[in-house]
Amino acid sequence: MDDQLFLRGLIYLSAAAIAAPLGRRLGFGAVLGYLVIGALIGPSVLQLVGDEQEEVLHFAEFGVVLMLFVIGLEINLTRLWRMRGPILGLGGLQVLLTTSVLGGAALLLPIGWREALALGMILSLSSTAIVMQNLRERGISETSSGNQSFAVLLFQDIAVIPMIALLPLLASLPVDGHGHDGHGSGTTWMDSVPGWSKGLVIVGAIATVVVIGRFLLTPWLRWITSLKVTEALTATTLALVVGIALLMDSVGLSPALGTFVAGVVLASSEFRHELESDIEPFKALLLAVFFIAVGAGIDFALIVSQPLTIGAMVLALISLKAAVLYGLARWFGLSFDQRLLFAVALAQGGEFAFVLGGFAVGQGVLSAELASQMIAAVVLSMALAPPLLLLVQNVILPRFGTCEAVAPERPSDVANDKAKVLLAGFGRFGHPMGRLLRSAGCMPTVLERDSDHVDLLRRIGLKCYYGDATRRHLLKAAGAEDAQLFVLALDDEDECMGIIETCRKHFPHLKIFARACSRHHAYLLHEAGVRFFVEQLGSSLDCAIAVLEEIGFEIDHAKDAARRFKEHEIEAIAATAPHHDDEYHILSLAQQNLRELDSLLVNAPLQTADPTQPNQDR
C-alpha cells in the first residue's frame, strides 16, 4: 500500500474542502479559492505537494472532459445548429485574429516568425474549465456573453486538431529526444494510417459515438433502470465518458470534444437528467483538483528570476486578447456590459497550452526556455481570470454598465405540507393562481428559486419555500409523492421540460399543468402529453373583448368570439405540434389557420351595438 498516495489524496481533498466554501464566503468564488490554495500547498510555498503535480494535472483534466459531456447534455441538436453562426463565425475569427495579434507581438521577443506564430496559436486558446466555471459561479452562463463564450470555446476545442497538424510544419529547431510531446510521447497507431484515410478514421470514430449514444445506450439504460440498480447507471455513465475520451484521443481528436458530441447526442434522451446528476459530483471534484494542480504548478522561482519578462508576457496576453475579443463582440452586436464580460472571461490562456507547449518543444518548434516562460504566463493568466471577472462584474459594471452582482445561493428550506397541489414558480403567472387557490382553501406548496421574492411573499403572509424544482430530491422533500397535481409556472422552457421528464420517471402519478412560455414551448408540452396554458392568452383576449365593446360591439358576441378564438388556438397548436421543426410546413399551417379563423368568425358575425346609445355597463 502506497502511503504517499493516500497522503497526497488527503492533501488535495482537504484543500478542495477548504478552498470552495472559503472562496465563496469571501465573495471571490470557488475557482480563485482553488488556485490560491493550490499555490500555497505547491512546491514553491509549503511544499506539501511536489513532483507528482504534473501527473495530477493530467488526471484532473478528465474533469474538463466530464464538464463538456454535461454541457452537451444541456444542448440539443436544434440549439447547436442555431449556434453555428457564433461557433464558426465568432469562434473562427477569434482564433485567427488572436493568433495574428499575439504572434505579431511575440516578434518583439528575440525569436523568429515560426516561434512567434506557434506562440500566437497556443495562446489564442482559453481555459474551458475556468471560463465555464466562472460564468456559472457569477450567474452569467445563460446571458448573451455566456452563450457566445461557450461558442468560442467549442470552436477552440475543434481548432486544437489543425494546430497539432500545423506545429510540426513550423519546426526550425533540432528535435530533442523526448518524443512528440510531454504528455504521453511516442507514436500511436494513427501514425501508421495513410494520410488520405485519416479523415475517414476520424469520421468513423465520431459516427461510432453517435451510434452508441442513439441506438445502444438508451435500451441498456432502460433495462438497468427497470432493475433499480443505481450504481450500474453511474458505472455506465462513467464508462461511456472514459471510453469515448480514449477513442477520441486514439484518433487524435480532443477527448473533451468527443464527449461533448456524446452529450449532444444524448440530450434528447429520457435519461438526460439522470446522466447529468450522476456525473455532476465526479465533475465537480475533478475540476477542483484540476484548479488546485494549476495553482500548485505556478513556478514562482522562474517568475522571481525573470519578473519583467513574465510580467510583460502576462500583461500582453490578457490585454491584447481582451482587446480582440471586445472588438469582435462589438462587431457581433453585444451590448457594452456583455462585451466587457465576454472579453474578460476569455482573456486568459488555456489548459491546452500545457499539451501544445510540450508538443511544440518535442517537435523543435519552441525552445524549452521559451515554452517554460509561456507556461508560467499562461498559469498566471488563469489565476488572474477569476478576480478580473469579479472586478468587472462587481466594481466596473455597476458604475458604467447594467450588470448587478449575483447574490450567493442559500440552502433550500422546503418542507412537506401534504398539499394536494405543488406550484413551481410564483411570478406573474404563478402568483395570481396561488392566491386564488389559497382563497379557495387549497393552499399549494409553492417552490420559488428567487430568495428575495420568497422573503417578500412571506412578509405579506403567503407560504412559499425557497428551492430549485429541477432537483428530484427537493421535489420529494416538498411532497411530490403525496401530491395529486403539479403546476409548472416557470419562465424557463428547458427547465420546465426537464422537470416534466423527472416527474414522469419518479412521480408518474402526478398530473401536470404547465405554463407555455411560447408557441414552440406549447408544441413541446403537447407532445409530452401535458395540459398547457398559453402565457398571456387569457389577458390578451380579455383586452380584445374590452376593445370590441368600446368600439360598439355587443359584449356577449365579443365574449363568444374570444371563446371561439381560444378553442381554435388550442386546436391549432395540437395540429401543428408534430411539424414544429419544419419551418415551411409551419408557415403553411399558420396561413391555413388564419383562413379557418376568419371563416369561423365570419360564419358567426359580431353584432354591432347602436353607437348612438351609451354602454351603461361601462
What's the confidence (pLDDT) of residue 79?
66
329-360 pLDDT, tens per residue?
989 888 888 889 999 999 998 877 877 787 78
In the predicted structure, residue 321 carries a pLDDT above the cut 90: yes
| Class of residue 330 by CB neighbours under 10 A (exposed 0-12, middle 13-18, buried 19+) | middle
The rounded mean pLDDT for the chain is: 77
Measure the CA–CA gap between 561 and 553, rounded to whole angstroms: 11
Alpha helix (H) ranges present in 440-582?
A: 451-459, 472-478, 493-506, 519-527, 537-550, 555-576
Please tell me which residue, 197 or 392, carries the higher pLDDT value.
Answer: 392
CA distance linking residue 412 with residue 427, whole number of Å? 18
Which is more confidently placed, 589 or 454?
454
* Residue whose C-alpha is closest to residue 161's, from 366, 356, 16, 12: 356
**Banded pLDDT at 313 (limits 50, 70, 90):** very high
Residue 378 has pLDDT above 70, yes or no: yes
- The SS3 assignment for 76 reads coil
**In whole angstroms, what is the distance from residue 351 CA to residue 358 CA?**
12
pLDDT, one tens digit per residue, over 545-583 is 777 677 677 888 778 877 777 777 777 777 776 665 565
Instruction: Provide the 3-class DSSP secondary structure of residue 27.
Output: coil
Mean pLDDT lowest among 147-161, 258-272, 448-462? 448-462
> What's the confidence (pLDDT) of residue 589?
63
* Residue pLDDT, tens place only, 379-429: 889 888 888 988 888 888 777 755 433 344 445 555 666 788 888 888 777
Q: Please report the domains of the chain, with CATH numbers, ordered by start residue.
A: 15-400 (1.20.1530.20), 421-603 (3.40.50.720)
Strands 465-466 and 445-448: parallel
Whether 364 and 351 have beta carbons less than 8 Å apart is answered as no
Residue with cell 482559453: 126
The pLDDT confidence band at residue 615, using thresholds 50, 70 and 90, is: very low
- Of the two residues 52 and 33, the one the predictor is more confident about is 33
> pLDDT at position 613, please?
47
Identify the residue with better confidence: 334 or 316. Answer: 316
C-alpha Rg value of the chain to the nearest Å? 29
Select from 439, 440, 452, 499 the least CA-distant residue to 475.
499
Closest alpha carbon to 293 in 406, 129, 91: 129
145-149, 163-167, 186-190: which is most confident = 145-149
Question: Exposed/middle/buried for 441, CB within 10 Å: 0-12, 13-18, 19+?
Answer: exposed
What is the structure's pLDDT at 360? 82
Q: Which of 131-135, 332-336, 474-478, 507-511 has the highest mean pLDDT?
A: 507-511
In tens, the pLDDT along 47-58 reads 787 666 666 666
Distance separating alpha carbons of residues 530 and 500, to the nearest angstrom: 8
Note the pLDDT of residue 614. 43
Q: Cβ neighbours of residue 481 under 8 Å, at least 6 residues apart? A: 507
Sign of the Cα torsion 34, 40, 43, 49 reads negative
Q: Is 184 helix (H, G, I), strand (E, B) or coil?
A: coil
From residue 595, alpha-carbon distances to 417, 589, 602 in Å are 49, 10, 10
Q: What is the reported pLDDT for 343?
A: 93
Cβ(530)–Cβ(502) under 8 Å?
no
pLDDT recorded at residue 179? 39
pLDDT of res. 580: 58
H runs (alpha helix) in 251-367: 255-266, 272-296, 300-305, 307-331, 336-345, 352-362
Rounded-to-integer distance, Cα 393 and Cα 406, Å:
9
Residue 455, CB-side half-sphere exposure with 13 Å CA sphere: 4
| Confidence bin at 124 (pLDDT 50/70/90) | very high
The pLDDT score that the predictor gives to residue 427 is: 79
Residues 6+ apart with CB under 8 A from 516: 522, 525, 532, 533, 534, 535
pLDDT above 90: percentage of residues in the chain: 9
What is the residue type of 347?
A
Summarize pLDDT for 209-260 with one digit per residue, the tens: 888 877 888 788 888 877 777 788 788 888 888 888 888 878 776 677 777 7
User: Mind listing the pLDDT tens digit for each residue in 4-26?
Assistant: 777 877 888 888 888 878 876 77
